[in-house]
Amino acid sequence: MNFKRFKNKATCPELTDAPPLGMDADSLGDDFRSYYTYNLGRDRNCRLTHYAYEALALTVRDRLMERWKNTRYAYEESDCKRAYYLSLEFLMGRSLGNAVHNLGIEKEVADALHEVYLDMEELADIEPDAGLGNGGLGRLAACFLDSCATLQLPVMGYGIRYEYGMFRQHIKNGYQIEEPDHWLASSNCWELERPEYRQRIKFGGRSEFYNDASGKLRVRWVDTRDVLAMPYDVPIPGYRNETVNTLRLWKAVATEEFDLDEFNSGDYAGSVAAKNEAEKITMVLYPNDASENGKDLRLRQQYFLASASLQDVFERWAGVKGKHLKEFAEKNCFQLNDTHPSIAVAELMRLLLDRHGLEWKDAWDITQQTMAYTNHTLLPEALEKWPVRLFQTVLPRLLDIIYEINARFLSQVAQRWPGDQERQRRMSLIEEGPEPQVRMAYLAIVGSFSVNGVAELHSQLLREGLFRDFYELWPEKFNNKTNGVTQRRWLAYANPGLNQLISSKIGNGWVTELDQLSRLKPLAENPEFRDEWQRVKYNNKQRLAQLVKDECKVTFNPEALFDVQVKRIHEYKRQLLNVLHVIHLYDRIKRDDVADWTPRCVLIGGKAAPGYQMAKLIIKLISNVSIMVNNDPQVGDLLKVAFFPNYRVSAMEVIAPGADLSEQISTAGKEASGTGNMKFMLNGALTIGTLDGANIEIREEVGADNFFLFGLTAAEVEALRPHYDPSGIIAGNEDLQRVMNLLKHGHFNQFEAGIFDPLIAAIESPYDPWLTAADFASYVTAQQQVASAYRDRAGWTRMSILNTASGGKFSTDRTMREYNREIWRLPKIANGVDAELDRKFHPESILDAPVS
Ligand code: 26Q
């Protein structure tokens, strides 16, 4: 790539400002045909839907491009403060349907396609999911971006452009098989390469001290092995508001030095190997949703993202008009999505000290005023730690800085608690021991002005448990921001039937103001409305049943109760408890205890981390149980069980609308928030759940009568641990005893002796951290209440409506307004054609006025 610039003014409006593109069916159709014929070079002999998808995607993308440019201009011209969402994961899913929906051209596109005998759904289905995330944390980042664009907040996402996203899951003989997800194999029109903004990232080498021109002692990082960061921009359309924000994803590319080395040394193979080494950094997403400690490459990914993004922000910020660094903190804010990008704290210090020559105190003030940290886990074993030794070789200069931060921090601790050595040891950024480790969460807390959890209970448990010492020191830093989901994707787009029904009654204001859903509440008492609601749910269940038929080869009857648990497979999420209940139902059928039976279809889906043996065994158990249950003529339609393979964003778009019952059954105190629970609620599913994460707030909103509660509370869980006696519990509960006996007698593994022994042992262990046996009885009781409630169709439908109607709080629009009001404090920036109209009709901002 040649980076020579124009000699004259060729970037003036004459070059860059084209007349707006038509949004009508004719213009869209013309462009579609033009792309199909001239850009893609296809003709009437091509019958592949892929090219039609691509032509449509390019047509739609053009409409985003002009709005994107206008949004950038509006942000530049306003010179406003901006926030950056730093995340190792953005689980975007598909883009075409979302773009069409947010642009508001669904009908126009459908009409244009109709002219050429094509169907939008068929084309949208071609697009591979952008699976650049594991689960909740990654999807939350994607929902946040949608809400920020819709609220017209100047927020940019920064992430990694993994060549291979989340693995594809196959089930073979009941076992999970992982297959690489080469999602970029066919061209991706939803990204724009921006070589002009590439950055250089250092690795390895050593710190060197020197005196600068004024004689000041300074440090530089030398003898490094550098890698280039190439940005790819992804457009993030707001909802029908002319705003298109940016997600910038970095790809690692070898520097030209690699090519030169090759040229000069003649070691061709060696040079190619070095090039591969550099480009490996962004090759693959780590498929663990609990930290995988000590992996060199993962640390490189984290630093690569942090450094590229910070340098990029500096460049844009200083580029405008050589600003004074003191202003940096007033104009920039970084939100760290968990500790994964938290090395940014040390990297910002390095840039300010080594590159911009600031004094430590000034640099630290800026850092502490710009960084904000969000925690997403309560599991102590999931807190990230990196061996000091690894830091020393990969990021030596950053380790210097971390040591200095720690020394100054510990002297602050010593001042506050004189003589309390134990506390200093506890709070140190370095965990001492045979293999000293850097505690990334502590680095994030010390370097940030805000630390938040993602649901009320979670934030409380952070203050009282995990981060107690830090809360004592800095209570003002700690706050809660309950998660949400974007209703544009998860209700308006994914559930067109319900969208239409709701909007026909209360208008479509809820698409941008989700609280308006509460206006549905009186309609829950209206029998005609309930019938309409039920019809929509029934259609969605048919659609889901078809998907289950195609993917699992199991027939679900839409008349039955659809009982769904989809999420990552984890012991704390207790898919095992779900299976125990399924086995219990099967046992009841086998002993003919089926009076007043409610037919039930149980769907369980999710990926297990490839190295997580217990999680993989749970999948195998679900598969084996499903084979026994589904092929038993005595069971028939009373019970069906299916494991849904390769659970992903686009699958959830069909699953959530078709669910009756949402399983949120984690051990209390373990699920930080959950967000699937919110997607199900909005789509009218009822929740069976523990008092964990955001379930508590969901229950508060919908009312205890419309929520199936069971299980120990977080406090009861902790109180029980020391004298937990699962064997006693099993002996005292006939249902559970029978279930355990079926398992122990190998009823579900007749030709695979002993394979489920580890699961049996886990349930029976007095040290079972997840207390599965403890909650069994109350879970079964709650499930019995579910079954009876479902038999009263009018009553169930009433509760279903109330669930949707009470979901207003769980919009990421609300979450983003809170982040903005209490952490970022950004102005709303309208842009383009809309801006003037917007100011005229909405003089006051849709955001709450900043608190002074
Ligand atoms: C860390 C280091 C090395 C390798 C992997 C990781 C890693 C990757 C992903 C650790 C954790 C994750 C993902 C965590 C996650 O998804 N947490 C979920 O976040 C949601 C959004 O806040 C919550 O709703 C869920 O409760 C929480 O489990």
Q: By percentage, how much of the chain surpasses pLDDT 90?
A: 90
DSSP code string of 632-676:
-TTTGGGEEEEEETT--HHHHHHHHHH-SEEEE-PPTT--S--SH
Laid out side by side, the sheet with 708-709 consists of 639-644, 600-605, 561-566, 661-664, 686-689, 708-709
Strand pairing report for 227-237 and 332-337: unpaired
Task: Pull the structure tokens for residue 46.
Answer: 């091509």
Q: Looking at residue 262, what is its pLDDT?
A: 56
Q: Looking at residue 846, what is its pLDDT?
A: 45
> Is 82 touching ligand 1 by the criterion CB < 6 Å?
no
How far apart CA 405 and CA 478 sit, in angstroms, is: 20
Report residue 501's pLDDT band, with 50, 70 and 90 as the boundaries: very high
Minimum CA distance residue for ligand 1 atom 24: 674
Task: Pull the structure tokens for residue 404.
Answer: 């200095």
3-class SS at 583? helix
3-class SS at 557? coil
For 770-793, how does the pLDDT look when each residue is reduced to its tens digit (9 = 90+)? 999 999 999 999 999 999 999 999
Atom of ligand 1 nearest to the CA of 138: 16
How far apart CA 314 and CA 307 sit, in angstroms, is: 11
> Is 645 touching ligand 1 by the criterion CB < 6 Å?
no
Residue type, 317: W
3-class SS at 762? helix
How far apart CA 32 and CA 55 sit, in angstroms, is: 5
How far apart CA 773 and CA 766 sit, in angstroms, is: 10
> Is 694 touching ligand 1 by the criterion CB < 6 Å?
no
Q: By percentage, how much of the chain surpasses pLDDT 70?
A: 96
Strand pairing report for 227-237 and 199-201: antiparallel
Residue 208 bridge partners (DSSP): 220
Asked whether the whole model's pTM tops 0.85, one would answer yes
Q: How far is CA 139 from CA 120, 142, 357, in A?
A: 24, 5, 39
Report residue 842's pLDDT band, with 50, 70 and 90 as the boundaries: very low
How far apart CA 692 and CA 671 sit, in angstroms, is: 6
Strand pairing report for 217-222 and 332-337: unpaired
Q: Looking at residue 850, what is its pLDDT?
A: 43
Element (H, E) at 473: helix 468-473
Question: What domains can you pick out in the chain, each with its CATH number?
Answer: 24-78+95-128 (no CATH), 79-94+129-480 (3.40.50.2000), 487-810 (3.40.50.2000)
Cα(449) to centroid(ligand 1), Å? 22
User: Is there a contact between 351 and 101 (Cβ–Cβ < 8 Å)?
Assistant: no
Cα(290) to centroid(ligand 1), Å? 6
> Is 134 touching ligand 1 by the criterion CB < 6 Å?
yes
Report residue 291's pLDDT band, with 50, 70 and 90 as the boundaries: confident
Cα(338) to centroid(ligand 1), Å? 8
> Is 672 touching ligand 1 by the criterion CB < 6 Å?
yes
3-class SS at 568? coil
Average pLDDT, stretch 706-734?
A: 98
Strand pairing report for 385-387 and 437-439: antiparallel
Report residue 409's pLDDT band, with 50, 70 and 90 as the boundaries: very high
User: Is there a contact between 342 and 335 (Cβ–Cβ < 8 Å)?
Assistant: no
Q: Looking at residue 146, what is its pLDDT?
A: 98
Q: Looking at residue 851, what is its pLDDT?
A: 39
- Backbone φ and ψ of 491, nearest 5°: -130, -60
For 226-253, how does the pLDDT look when each residue is reduced to its tens digit (9 = 90+)? 999 999 999 999 999 999 999 999 999 9
For 47-80, how does the pLDDT look when each residue is reduced to its tens digit (9 = 90+)? 899 999 999 999 999 999 999 999 999 999 999 9
Task: Pull the structure tokens for residue 301.
Answer: 């990914």
**Which bin fits 79, alpha (ψ -120 to 50), beta or left (φ > 0)?**
left
Task: Pull the structure tokens for residue 604.
Answer: 């369980």
Average pLDDT, stretch 649-674?
A: 98
Q: Looking at residue 323, what is its pLDDT?
A: 65
Atom of ligand 1 nearest to the CA of 133: 9
Task: Pull the structure tokens for residue 276.
Answer: 């591969």
Average pLDDT for the chain: 95
> Is 693 touching ligand 1 by the criterion CB < 6 Å?
yes
For a ligand 1 pocket test, name from 90, 373, 377 the mutation site with the most ligand atoms within 8 angstroms of its C-beta.
377
What is the residue whose two structure tokens read 């480009």?
A: 279
For 307-359, how does the pLDDT look when each residue is reduced to its tens digit (9 = 90+)? 999 999 999 987 655 567 889 999 999 999 999 999 999 999 999 999 999 99
Q: How far is CA 833 from CA 151, 246, 722, 847, in A?
A: 16, 19, 65, 20
How far apart CA 647 and CA 643 sit, in angstroms, is: 10
DSSP code string of 335-346:
EEESSTTTTHHH
Q: Looking at residue 711, what is its pLDDT?
A: 98
The residue length of the chain stands at 852
Residue 727: alpha-carbon gap to chain centroid: 38
Q: Is 233 exposed, middle or buried (0-12, 13-18, 19+ CB in 10 A)?
A: middle
How far apart CA 736 and CA 581 sit, in angstroms, is: 9
| Range 707-740 burial, b when 16+ CB lie within 10 A, else e | bbbbbbebeebeeeeeebebeebbeebebbebbb
What is the residue whose two structure tokens read 């590159």?
A: 355
Above 60 in pLDDT, residue 615?
yes
Dihedral over alpha carbons 464, 469, 474, 479 (to 10 degrees): -30
Give the CA diameter of the chain: 90
For 523-552, how does the pLDDT look when each residue is reduced to its tens digit (9 = 90+)? 999 999 999 999 999 999 999 999 999 999
> Is 674 touching ligand 1 by the criterion CB < 6 Å?
yes
How far apart CA 849 and CA 827 sit, in angstroms, is: 9
Cα(387) to centroid(ligand 1), Å? 21
For 597-607, how does the pLDDT look when each residue is reduced to its tens digit (9 = 90+)? 999 999 999 99
